[in-house]
Structure 1
């Protein structure tokens, strides 16, 4: 008998692929390319491959990832904005279309095994519960295995992890760190791959949450940088620019662009705040170096397994530029996302009870550095993440290393390329033609072009003629060596100050700039006034590209800032839960602490009962209702800087009871009048001075009977997850 055999659709030496995508790092951060943060793995791979200094992203998370995985423009595949701000506009739905199959969806038909580790930010937030639907999760987009988180960010200490479709909890303890865990799981998967399918090539997508906020790292890594940034971001930027020129990473005739007038200078920071600002940068730098070291462990593992020689590694240094979302420096990153007014003095005061400066980077903090550091980390460019008009938001270093197929060459490749070029490059190297149909779905055209032509020739003429950019109304277009762009209405380092402009913004009135990139590497000289006819043609080209790629309405990603009522959330008004209800993502859970509600809990308690009845959010912000030695407690953690507690005077007797919590919040962000009752009798009340209008966290959850993830309350921080010792029969929640 002749056994049926699977046909081989690949050449025998088809390469393996490892894509490493770092989060929120800028052009001027790594010492590989002139920065001041140690990145030996990036350097090691650069020395064994080739590098690109004109590679581009979309300037924001979800869109870059969608373009990377599909080879198409981000709006074309429905990812014109991040998953949390998805709308019904065609280019902004947050859903990768079936007409744009991902790399693993295509390659699995050719025999590839695939895995994804870390951040997956391409599932609409209302589809991330235990009931799915799961076709928009990583395994629904072609990956055989997934280990990571589904949101834009998570704690490195208590990440909200999933393995394939199952929610899992990381081990507790001071030695755990998510980025390290990702290496361990990645190498474990590779060993299984070798054991069970050694004849198959693999695709691994390794995308850590690092170094997106919160900046979480062990103190020893941050301490390596003590004193190295004492003279501030302006001086850092000048030093980096000089080294970039000396290394040949940027042309000798490039110019260092100035700091925007709306961003603080280092000299403008009060001396009383400088220690805080310095430590935030030291923590970030330690986080970056630690992340690069974990990539090194992964590469070491490939070598130990004998896989390195025929593995293409694409080390993409950033899904966008450095992030200015820390605004003026923050111990709770979502203060800016929620436009909550605060001062550095308030933050420093809140830190005192949590360990002071030493707590930065630790599990009780959600810290992110001052926007000035992000701007400095984008040297020599003028802007940051969220800006599509300037390369500080979109230009990220790329290194490609493939010992078997690419001869090392230190000369930077200057050809203009984009993250949508990764997929067609890999298809060419593997020998796969992008299919016209995948799983019954006719495929949209590939927008990217292969970069393979440039591997052997740093001076090869570029093959990418045109590329548009758009993010939150900031936009631009590249064409044949020229770039035109406009900043748009949103200032990333001052989102609160942007609000008045957003309300009156007219895209047709935005001023545009024009740059000749053949002579102006850093977009330092605006030629709009000198070449109005060229600018007019470039603006027309942008509109044509926007129309062809479903990018209208321009600024569609801003919609939920104008209309917060349209943010993706649960359609329900009432719920019945029990102690089996855990890991309910905040975006799908009841709006506790943000809108008026009533909660009734049927419980049975013993004497001196303790533990969480229900909790929403985590250490960075949230609310918790719990019992402590028999007393009922309500705690509101307003993004770390304010905490409000109501506690019953007497203990609740052993036995069955109905506990009720009533919150009255007139409008999002306004005070919250809270009343606690037991068996119909009031036992405590308080008023929360101000509430979180949008979201407490990006990935923390609603849990009944326990506080999973990072704990909301510092009162039970060392007892987390503080499981309730009694019995919770039912929890009824109703939004008023």
Structure 2
């Protein structure tokens, strides 16, 4: 019987026979016909699909650059805007990680785990900093449609516990659809000594190049990738996401660029705001009836400052301006290369000037060392700033300007970064360029748009749709709406009609021109302190269709409308599970070293990331280094080092003498040096550092003992420690000290010339 059944399939491959008998269907030719073998084909983009270049700068307010009436010249963006479109009603989420997650995915930030920045993640799904597989990025979607993809710059959407040399890499740029990545992972980095990755591998900047700066390096790599892709596969469109660290703190720029702005901000932030407001009206980027909102009481009037304060604060603004203007110069090089390649006319550029408003985090006084002042609770004062005036803008400071400048950079709106309830926090300038596809080039568009609209706009421009599944995972619906209609319809009504905003207890709900907003209860420079229990939530109401700058509170006039919007927000909050639960005992994040008390490291050129290395803060520890001192007299180098001159620690050998350094901040009062009394003799030695932490909370002091071959040779006291973060390079290295070294007494990479058999780190059980 079986033989008779199989008779009619004679000559047909057995795989086909088995499939037919099983009731399955096979693709390809009819049964009995031969199929020519073929390799799998690469997906092809739609015909005439454009290149896509998405640019997003960092901590740049609506009124910072000259394209939107600001005081900082950005001629390359100006040229793009003159032949493209400027959007004056584009909105972000008020903070970097949430904005970037929404940008990449086209979903609201809480839907993809980023209700807060990655450093503030909690287990609740909307705040866990984990982009789910159901929230595919535009890089993944365009890759599926045949695009070559690259990302350069800042990536602030990897969970902290995944930033290790061994991954997992699912939420690194390569894992999110970018075929090539060059940049840094985290919120900020030193422009002169960045912690860089190329794809999944750390990269050290040239230690012998005094002119190195990250913005130039990023542009060099972007141009190189564009040229490579154009040469290898010139008929295939590309997607490039270009996200510099500028102009996030630390504010840094080449000294010759800083010099260009000397004296240009001596008039102060109040006057600067008035000047920008006048320019904005003249340019037409704000309506004639727009109102300039008043200065908050928390920000001092410029006229109330002393001469020394004005001197320091003006200098801080000069450096910020130099950084943004210098970035514009580098961006211009990329545009020039596209033109030289003949690619510019077929490139859709979406240039988002800022992921949120200007940063208020520098506090009303500004700071030379923002991380020490804020996260590590070691504030600097005016005298500290005067002493470090020459360090501003260099590798040896982590400066951020006073909140008054941020407020001025957000003209004409209230507040700034982190205040999601007010336009100063969420409103940014957007420029679109796409030759031959825009009507009324040089015009301003005023349709309400949101960061979630970028991905849908890209898909429409390319001629594709968001797939229902990606890699077998059903996808979340897009939250945004394409604004490609506005490219040719200047007067068309907005299609994105509703939008919620929520960040750190600042809430707003937008509905067809109306905006309900909560009053800020915590200042951004006190971001780690939640509102005191029982602090009332006060709501405001604005009609943005008539009040561009959110200047006139209508809550008392239209209480019914306010209650309507509050009820709509409550429904949305329930839908997206919005609201961080503040647990008395925080759930520990799943770092790989959580339950490990003994670590063994070998000499290596590898730099361990801040989160791929055991945490040395707020605890007691012991380090032992088994080394060999060369007999030829070459003894000096780093045995182990973490962090930098601004904040870090390490064990070095200098002039043959073991030295332990601990820098709690940039200030001399926070630097501890403990040295042995004699140099080491040639041969094998065991160096031990016992760091006995005081306990009783974060950032406390410690007693330190140094031993050589088991004998106590030195001891000392570290009066206070960073309780939260080793800044700048942040990571650790064995056998060398990279970047901004722990001390000015030696230069990077300060490689130890002898053997380091192992370095062990032990924590008490």
Under TM normalisation by the shorter chain, which class is it? over 0.9
Cα separation, 1, equivalents of 2:663 and 2:232: 48
- Secondary structure of 2:111's partner? coil
1:695 alignment counterpart: 725
2:258 alignment counterpart: 222
Residues 1:153 and 2:188 aligned together: yes
Determine if contact 1:573/1:734 at 8 Å carries over to the other structure: yes
Determine if contact 2:637/2:736 at 8 Å carries over to the other structure: yes
Q: Which residue, out of 12, 17, 37, partners 2:52?
A: 17
How far apart are 1:163 and its partner, in Å? 0.8
1:29 alignment counterpart: 64
Map 1:417-496 → 2, pairs under 5 A: 417-495=449-527
- Secondary structure of 2:762's partner? strand
Determine if contact 2:627/2:754 at 8 Å carries over to the other structure: yes
How far apart are 1:106 and its partner, in Å? 0.8
How far apart are 1:8 and its partner, in Å? 6.0
1:531 alignment counterpart: 558
Map 1:50-65 → 2, pairs under 5 A: 50-65=85-100
Question: Larger C-alpha radius of gyration, 1 or 2?
Answer: 2
Q: Which residue, out of 670, 679, 685, partners 1:657?
A: 685
1:314 alignment counterpart: 350
How far apart are 1:591 and its partner, in Å? 2.5
Map 1:241-280 → 2, pairs under 5 A: 241-280=277-316
Residues 1:301 and 2:337 aligned together: yes
1:39 alignment counterpart: 74
Which piece of structure 1 moves more, 47-56 or 172-181?
172-181
Cα separation, 2, equivalents of 1:185 and 1:506: 52
Q: Which residue, out of 604, 612, 626, partners 1:588?
A: 612
1:545 alignment counterpart: 572
Q: Which residue, out of 425, 438, 441, partners 1:393?
A: 425
2:28 alignment counterpart: none
Cα separation, 1, equivalents of 2:104 and 2:336: 25
2:662 alignment counterpart: 636
How far apart are 1:594 and its partner, in Å? 3.7
How far apart are 1:262 and its partner, in Å? 1.5
Map 1:551-570 → 2, pairs under 5 A: 551-553=578-580, 566=588, 569=591, 570=593
1:121 alignment counterpart: 156
How far apart are 1:573 and its partner, in Å? 2.6
Cα separation, 2, equivalents of 1:343 and 1:564: 30
1:578 alignment counterpart: 602
Determine if contact 2:452/2:479 at 8 Å carries over to the other structure: yes
* Long gaps (5+) in structure 2: 1-35
Residues 1:334 and 2:360 aligned together: no
How far apart are 1:64 and its partner, in Å? 0.7
Alpha-carbon distance change, 231 to 119 in structure 1, aligned in 2, over 3 angstroms: same
How far apart are 1:683 and its partner, in Å? 1.4
1:142 alignment counterpart: 177
Alpha-carbon distance change, 343 to 111 in structure 1, aligned in 2, over 3 angstroms: closer
* Long gaps (5+) in structure 1: 352-356
How far apart are 1:346 and its partner, in Å? 4.8
Number of positions where the alignment pairs a residue of Structure 1 with one of Structure 2: 719
Cα separation, 2, equivalents of 1:469 and 1:87: 19
Cα separation, 2, equivalents of 1:270 and 1:45: 41
2:9 alignment counterpart: none
Cα separation, 2, equivalents of 1:291 and 1:88: 37
2:752 alignment counterpart: 724
Q: Which residue, out of 621, 636, 643, partners 1:617?
A: 643
Q: What is the root-mean-square deviation in Å for CA atoms of aligned residues?
A: 1.9
Cα separation, 2, equivalents of 1:593 and 1:604: 29
Residues 1:714 and 2:738 aligned together: no
How far apart are 1:680 and its partner, in Å? 1.7
Cα separation, 2, equivalents of 1:727 and 1:487: 60
- Secondary structure of 2:606's partner? coil
Determine if contact 2:729/2:739 at 8 Å carries over to the other structure: no
Determine if contact 2:84/2:443 at 8 Å carries over to the other structure: no
How far apart are 1:503 and its partner, in Å? 6.2
Residues 1:323 and 2:323 aligned together: no
How far apart are 1:86 and its partner, in Å? 1.5
Cα separation, 1, equivalents of 2:643 and 2:281: 46
Cα separation, 2, equivalents of 1:684 and 1:512: 60
How far apart are 1:565 and its partner, in Å? 7.6
How far apart are 1:358 and its partner, in Å? 2.9
Alpha-carbon distance change, 487 to 619 in structure 1, aligned in 2, over 3 angstroms: farther
Cα separation, 2, equivalents of 1:599 and 1:52: 56
Cα separation, 2, equivalents of 1:100 and 1:423: 12
Determine if contact 2:481/2:495 at 8 Å carries over to the other structure: yes
- Secondary structure of 1:54's partner? strand
Q: Which residue, out of 525, 537, 556, partners 1:510?
A: 537
* Runs of 4+, deviation exceeding 6 Å: 562-565
- Secondary structure of 2:112's partner? coil
Q: Deviations over 1:7-29 (max 9, x none)?
A: 76533211110001111100111
Determine if contact 1:211/1:288 at 8 Å carries over to the other structure: yes
Alpha-carbon distance change, 582 to 10 in structure 1, aligned in 2, over 3 angstroms: closer
Determine if contact 1:568/1:587 at 8 Å carries over to the other structure: no
Q: Which residue, out of 131, 138, 146, partners 1:96?
A: 131
Cα separation, 2, equivalents of 1:615 and 1:434: 47
Which piece of structure 1 moves more, 529-538 or 40-49?
529-538
- Secondary structure of 1:62's partner? helix
How far apart are 1:504 and its partner, in Å? 2.7
How far apart are 1:468 and its partner, in Å? 0.5
Q: Which residue, out of 384, 393, 410, partners 1:361?
A: 393
2:8 alignment counterpart: none
Alpha-carbon distance change, 98 to 371 in structure 1, aligned in 2, over 3 angstroms: same
Alpha-carbon distance change, 408 to 621 in structure 1, aligned in 2, over 3 angstroms: farther
Cα separation, 1, equivalents of 2:373 and 2:450: 29
Which piece of structure 1 moves more, 668-677 or 393-402?
668-677
Q: Deviations over 1:30-76 (max 9, x none)?
A: 11121110011111111111110010011111111111111100000
Alpha-carbon distance change, 408 to 188 in structure 1, aligned in 2, over 3 angstroms: farther
Q: State the TM-score, normalizing by the size of structure 2.
A: 0.91
Determine if contact 2:136/2:475 at 8 Å carries over to the other structure: yes
Q: State the TM-score, normalizing by the size of structure 1.
A: 0.94
2:673 alignment counterpart: 645
Q: Deviations over 1:552-578 (max 9, x none)?
A: 33xx6xx59x86784665413321112
Residues 1:107 and 2:153 aligned together: no
- Secondary structure of 1:342's partner? coil
Q: Deviations over 1:215-250 (max 9, x none)?
A: 111111111111110021111111111211222211
2:623 alignment counterpart: 599
Determine if contact 1:361/1:367 at 8 Å carries over to the other structure: yes
How far apart are 1:411 and its partner, in Å? 2.9
Which piece of structure 1 moves more, 311-320 or 450-459?
450-459
Alpha-carbon distance change, 488 to 235 in structure 1, aligned in 2, over 3 angstroms: closer
Cα separation, 1, equivalents of 2:392 and 2:183: 24
Determine if contact 1:257/1:522 at 8 Å carries over to the other structure: yes
How far apart are 1:593 and its partner, in Å? 4.9
Cα separation, 1, equivalents of 2:297 and 2:526: 12
2:206 alignment counterpart: 171
How far apart are 1:385 and its partner, in Å? 0.7
- Secondary structure of 1:396's partner? strand
Which piece of structure 1 moves more, 80-89 or 573-582?
573-582
How far apart are 1:648 and its partner, in Å? 1.3
Which piece of structure 1 moves more, 385-394 or 484-493?
484-493
Determine if contact 1:646/1:684 at 8 Å carries over to the other structure: yes
Cα separation, 2, equivalents of 1:408 and 1:3: 49
Q: Which residue, out of 418, 439, 444, partners 1:412?
A: 444
How far apart are 1:699 and its partner, in Å? 4.9
Determine if contact 1:57/1:64 at 8 Å carries over to the other structure: yes
